A and B are shown apart, each in its own frame.
Chain A
């Protein structure tokens, strides 16, 4: 079973700053099957990025994804107030079909 470890657990930044969130897999993951989600309090997760680097419909271009193999990154170029939330990476594999990371909380400094 592939384990996804996200870092840091909490990231404190100010609006306008750049955020870099990491997702490391315990074994190699196909880039085609790595996604990122954003979750705000009391809301369902929202798909941001899939196939490691493709933005989902309606996602602003300040969000970008990169990486391959075991190391993947979500970057938010200039933080807007609405970007402060919890972010999860997710991989698709054989068993279990979907695995999520433990999440990174992006909070206002």
Chain B
């Protein structure tokens, strides 16, 4: 059974850096082809993909946010960390991590419950 859970600070001030951790179980980065991605959703708005990291440490970022994002993994702790710099109130959103199945059709088949991050002074 695959589960993912996001954790981190939920209130951040403008210009600060956000660090979110996705802790997962039921799969491993030792499995070839596996990926974990981050997606966010501002209140009442649509989903926006942010970043994804593969088992082999290949990393992909949203072009519009690439300069502000860093994604890393800890294979042995079963964690993925997303950092976002220079936060602004428009970054207020629920942040989700999700599992991408190995050698699949790129679907995100399991999601964490999400963590609401508020950017406010």
Contact = CB atoms under 8 A, between A and B. Distances in A.
Interface in B37-75: 37, 39, 46-49, 52, 60, 62-64
Contacts of B111: 44-46
A100 B62 CA distance: 12
B96 interface: yes
Contacts of B103: none
B121 interface: no
Contacts, number: 69
Interface string B73-102: 000000000000000000000001000000
Interface of A: 1, 32-33, 35, 37, 43-47, 50-51, 54, 56-57, 88, 90, 92, 95-103
10 contacts: A32-B105, A32-B106, A44-B112, A45-B47, A45-B111, A47-B110, A88-B46, A92-B106, A101-B46, A102-B46
